[in-house]
Amino acid sequence: MIKYDLQKNNTALLESFLVKAKDRQYQFWERNALSIDLFSEAVLMQKINIYLKIL
């Protein structure tokens, strides 16, 4: 779904996800990402704010 939305609305951003992998053309998620427990609303809001700043 992400790929198709970007193909339609933001091809420049889609190009930033291009990878040279044998099994995929685009990499949207970090490989082997570690999970982080969101044990409080404050931690959740901190992570959301960090994410929004990198967009």
At residue 12, the pLDDT reads 94
> Which residues are CB-contacts of 36 (< 8 A; sequence separation ≥ 6)?
47
pTM for this model (two decimals): 0.52
Give the C-alpha distances (Å, rounded to integers) separating 23 from 6, 10, 32: 20, 23, 15
Q: Mean pLDDT, 10 residues at a time, over the chain (55 residues)?
A: 92 94 89 78 89 77
Q: Where are the domains of the chain?
A: 2-54
At residue 7, the pLDDT reads 95
At residue 19, the pLDDT reads 93
